[in-house]
Structure 1
Amino acid sequence: YQGGEVTAKMAALHARTFVIAQIETNEGLGNVDAIAAVPGVDALWVGHFDLTNFLGIPGAFGHPSYVAAVARIVAACDAHGKSAGFLAADDEWAREYVSKGFRLLAYGLDQLMLQNALRHGLEVLRTAVR
């Protein structure tokens, strides 16, 4: 807790707050332009696995319906000065989504990072034991 004038403290906190709305359902996609227009929302995040499920094409990231949905989300971001966000599992996905207009990326999946670290550790141990 810090003392001080409440209005000034709230303004300072607001300036440091980044609000992301996740688009991962048909309802979210249907309202994407209105969501992007909300003052204070800084970015729209594509929940890609859930979005393909709601589109009836689980995991089909190359399907025309998913590709069109992603383009629609990016267009809404562009129209309202927001960033489009995505979780890129690897370099290929990162490059692909940057080329689609995404500027807010998280990189790597926790389970893949853990698997890779364990795989590396086991290889080190196997080499040491030989």
Structure 2
Amino acid sequence: MALLDIRSALAGEGGVLSSWLGLNDPVVQEAFLHAGFDAVTFDIQHGLLDTASLRDGIALAVHLGKPALVRLPVADRALASRALDFGASAVIMPMIETVDDARAFVAVAKYPPLGQRSYGPTRAADLHGYADRADYVGDARDQTLAFAMIETGRALASLEEILAIDGLDGVFVGPSDLSIALSGNGTLEPRSAANEAAISRIAAAAESHGKIAGIYAGTPEDARRYRALGYRLICVGSDIGVITAGARALAAASRG
């Protein structure tokens, strides 16, 4: 075995479509892993996962042949390297606003010479089937990815400089927070004209820098639209959203 090749999948036709999981129930996680998504993203920032359920969720994904991505809590660089040591294929850091923020993130997410990720991949190497941990480290330099979230006005202003950072593999857009930041009055409006223009600009800038553009999509329609703009990593919906909508639809349909 070896690290799942998420980079090639992102470069392939259609990119990578990921589920978005915040619940810590392994049965729910397994259902989404069997549902036809290319990958799974665990949301630690707003989800209900703790360290143990993250560890077990990553293992479940790897055993089922799906790359596991992790959206981290704000500024939790310690968990970035731990998630990778658990066997994750990518980490997504929220609220990156400056070049210094992005460089500090790369430092913990990448092995030297790109960063300063501390050596200790015992679980990751074992989980991915490496007999020699040095082989994991060599593969991880290219195959474990770091995404900086672009979701504030300051981040948008620093976009070109952030994308130019060596070792940063891409950017990931949070449309909701970005819309709040761009509204000027705290209004949540992910499909506003200003937000849509920024989302298009981010995709184009990432492509010009040879970096991966990722985004969260609230609906399948959003997912298709973002793919047409050039986004290669698209995380759609959420486990709790799907379960809630399904339960309501079932109840309504059963009442006739």
Q: Same fold (TM over 0.5)?
A: yes
* Aligned-residue identity in percent: 30
Aligned residue identity for 2:212: S
Partner of 2:238: 109
The structure with more helix, counted as a fraction of residues = 1
Quote the Cα distance in structure 1 between the aligned partners of 2:233 and 2:241. 20
For the pair 1:36 / 2:163, whether they are aligned, the reply is yes
Partner of 1:46: 173
Deviates more, 1:89-98 or 1:24-33: 89-98
Quote the Cα distance in structure 2 between the aligned partners of 1:17 and 1:62. 31
Quote the Cα distance in structure 2 between the aligned partners of 1:107 and 1:83. 17
Please list the CA deviations of residues 17-52 of structure 1 after superposition, one character each: whole Å capped at 9, or x if unmatched. 111110001111011111111112112111111111
Select which of 63, 66, 71 maps to 2:195.
Answer: 66
Deviates more, 1:57-66 or 1:31-40: 57-66
Q: Which has the larger radius of gyration?
A: 1
Following TM superposition, the consecutive aligned residue runs of length 4 or more in structure 1 with deviations greater than 6 angstroms are: none
- The total of aligned residue pairs comes to 126
Aligned residue identity for 2:238: L
Deviates more, 1:45-54 or 1:111-120: 111-120
TM-score (norm 2): 0.43
Partner of 1:100: 229
Quote the Cα distance in structure 2 between the aligned partners of 1:63 and 1:5. 48
Quote the Cα distance in structure 1 between the aligned partners of 2:207 and 2:216. 19
Alpha carbons of structure 1 residues 115 and 9: separation in structure 2 relative to 1, 3 Å? closer
For the pair 1:27 / 2:164, whether they are aligned, the reply is no
> Gapped runs of 5+ residues in structure 1?
none
Alpha carbons of structure 1 residues 54 and 10: separation in structure 2 relative to 1, 3 Å? same
TM-score (norm 1): 0.79
Quote the Cα distance in structure 1 between the aligned partners of 2:190 and 2:246. 27
Name the Cα RMSD after superposition.
Answer: 2.5
Partner of 2:11: none
